[in-house]
Every structure is written in structure tokens, then in C-alpha cells.
Amino acid sequence: MLFPLITKAQSPCNLSNYGSIPKIPATSYPYFSAGSGITVSASTIGVSTLSDVSYSCNGQTFPTSNPAWWLNSAAQSITLTFSAPVSSISVIFNGTNSCEEFYFASNCGTVSLSNYCGSGYSLINGGTGLLYNNATTTGSMVTISVPGGATVFTLTHNGCGAGSRIALMDCIVPATGGGSTTINQPANITVCNGANVPASAFTSTPAGASFAWTNSNTAIGLAASGTGNTPSFTASNTTTAPITSTVTVSSPASGCSGAPTPVNYTITVNPSPVVNPIANITVCNGASVPASAFASTPAGASFTWTNSNSTIGLAASGSGNTPAFTA
């Protein structure tokens, strides 16, 4: 019979098949978790180790590691430090007797507990601790989660009973989404060939994030990647059609937060416009000459013009189309 899981945190491993998940020996730190890409270090105060002996809960056995840490005093603590923010970890323990309490804390916010055996275990201490209150010596696992992520987790015990073996499982979930940090969305940019594109001014909420960026099309005149803001550059397009690049802005994980969600914006460079051919005009004195209708390829260019002989009735220069006039 499987015990019910109280699931609050997504896990990168199948906790319903927890037996296949590596349990990290107390003597194997620092430990690199290949599944998460994160290294975890451990420091303890007053904690010794024991060889593993399996115990069960609701018909399931819970082996720890060999050796496992042995928590049996309120003066003891285990501190796990991760090389990048993680949103949840899972530990497994056994040899637990009635009255034992486990407490969990992080350096980046209040933890929540899930995935523990439903027989004899209950939440205490505002949901950050676990009490076992049953006559049978038992084992279980528990997932410790922190919204937004944390880099340090501390495990302590109330010292009641003979104590419990405990081990970290290689079921480490990297924090994602940046916690409370957001990269603010840059505006898309459209310019013509040869125009100056100013340096970007990336920002975050709250302020203070660092940035890296990639550019999908270096033909526009911008390098393929960089850090900080994109530099100013001269837009380039040697074709006869618009070209577009996607710039992706990211920020690394820092402090208690995972990496914020990257944002994208586009830079479109239009080709240099060509004025479409204009027919010559011949009229008699006093005739009405209609306004011109200049056009370009691609469409959308702005125009200026000059007239070499203003005695025909047209001004010497102007912008846009030439106005209607009397020859």
C-alpha cells in the first residue's frame, strides 16, 4: 500500500519511486548533483553518523545512506549550502520514535513541507516542522520547499527519543523564474540601413540585476552576444528587403532567487530606400501642374527636393511632395 503524498512542490525525480533515488552519504560532501547541475556542501554541529538500517511506514521501507547523519539532540544542526538557489530538496530519515520533532529553515524565506508519510506524522511549528507521534519506530521522507528559492537549508531536532538517521536525497530542484526579480520588457526597434542604434538601457524590477544578451542575426551590425547593455551600433542591411534580429536578454541566478525569465525584443533594419522613377513634365505657360506623388522601394521613405529654376513657378526647395503650382 502506498502512502498518500501531500504534493506542493514539483520534483525533478519520481518520489513515488523514491527507492531508486540516490541517498547521499554523510561522508560524500561536497556533492555534485548531475541532475540539477548544483553542488551541495554540508556542515554539522555535534552530529555523528550511523550505519543505515531500514524502517517502514505504511508498508514502505525508508533506507537512508551509509553512513547517515544521526540527529538526537536539540544542540545539533545540519546545514546544507547549495551553489545556486533551489526551490526544493528532499530528505529521508528512519529509526524515528514517538515524540521526535524535525525542524527545517532556509536563508531565504519560510519553508513548506510535503511528501511525508501520512501515518503518525503531522506538521508543527507553523508548518516548518514535522512531529512523529506513534508507538512504532518508523521512517519517512519529506520535501522542503521555498518559494523563489534558497541557497542554505538548516535541519535540527528536538532531542526527544533515541534520535533518527537522516540523509539528503539527490532530488534537488533548481529555482527558476527569478523569485521577485523581473527583467523589464524592452521595446522593439525599427531603423533604416545606416542609422545609429543607441545603446540599450536594460532594467529590472527591483533594480540591480546584471544582464547578458544574445543576438540572432549579426548582419544587422550588432555582435552575437555580450554582457550588460547592447552597445550603440550602425544598423546594416545590404539587401533589398527588411531584416530582423531577435535579442534575448537574460540575468543569472543571484542571492536567494533563481534566474529571471529571459525577455526578447526585435531589431528590424529596413534597406536603404530607392526613389521610384518620376516622369518628366512638359506644360504650357499658365498651365496647372499637379502635386507630385513621390514613392520609394521599399515604401515609406521621406523626401526632400530642390528645383534648379524657380522662374517656372515652383519654389527652390522643399520636403515631401512638390505642391501644385501654375507654370
44: domain CATH number is 2.60.120
Number of domains in the chain: 3
Look at strands 164-168 and 77-96 and give their pairing: antiparallel
| Chain position carrying cell 530642390 | 306
Q: Same structural domain for residues 198 and 169?
A: no
Whether 6 maps to a domain, the answer reads: no
Q: Same structural domain for residues 160 and 309?
A: no
Residues of the chain with pLDDT > 90, as a percent, come to 70
Mean pLDDT, range 33-41, rounded to an integer: 93
Contact criterion met (CB below 8 Å) for 149 and 82: no
Residues of the chain with pLDDT > 70, as a percent, come to 94
Q: Same structural domain for residues 19 and 167?
A: yes
User: How does residue 236 score in pLDDT terms, banded at 50, 70 and 90?
Assistant: very high
Q: Which of 147, 174, 201 is the last residue of a domain?
A: 174
Whether 1 maps to a domain, the answer reads: no
The larger pLDDT score, comparing residue 300 to residue 98, is at: 98
Q: Same structural domain for residues 19 and 163?
A: yes
pLDDT of residue 182: 87
The answer on pLDDT for 6 being more than 50 is no
Q: Is 265 left (phi over 0), alpha (psi -120 to 50) or beta?
A: beta
Q: Same structural domain for residues 77 and 218?
A: no
Domain that includes residue 50, residue range: 15-174
Contact criterion met (CB below 8 Å) for 98 and 135: yes
Of 7-16, 177-186, 271-280, give the lowest mean pLDDT range.
7-16
Look at strands 189-192 and 263-270 and give their pairing: parallel
| Chain position carrying cell 533551489 | 86
- Count of CB atoms situated within 10 Å of the CB of 92: 24
Stated pTM of the model: 0.61
User: How does residue 177 score in pLDDT terms, banded at 50, 70 and 90?
Assistant: low
pLDDT of residue 5: 38
Whether 266 maps to a domain, the answer reads: yes
Of 69-78, 114-123, 231-240, give the lowest mean pLDDT range.
114-123
Q: Same structural domain for residues 93 and 164?
A: yes
Q: Same structural domain for residues 214 and 110?
A: no
Q: Which of 230, 253, 270 is the last residue of a domain?
A: 270
Q: Same structural domain for residues 38 and 147?
A: yes
The answer on pLDDT for 286 being more than 70 is yes
CA–CA distance, 261 with 202 (Å, rounded to integer) = 14
Q: Residue 271 class from Cβ within 10 Å (0-12 exposed, 13-18 middle, 19+ buried)?
A: middle
Q: What is the CATH number of the domain that holds 197?
A: 2.60.40.10
User: How does residue 179 score in pLDDT terms, banded at 50, 70 and 90?
Assistant: low
Q: Same structural domain for residues 216 and 164?
A: no
Q: Same structural domain for residues 72 and 92?
A: yes
Whether 5 maps to a domain, the answer reads: no
The answer on pLDDT for 11 being more than 50 is no
What does pLDDT average to over the chain?
90
pLDDT of residue 297: 81
Contact criterion met (CB below 8 Å) for 91 and 79: no
pLDDT of residue 298: 80
pLDDT of residue 272: 87
pLDDT of residue 122: 94
Q: Which of 154, 174, 194 is the last residue of a domain?
A: 174
CA–CA distance, 38 with 16 (Å, rounded to integer) = 23
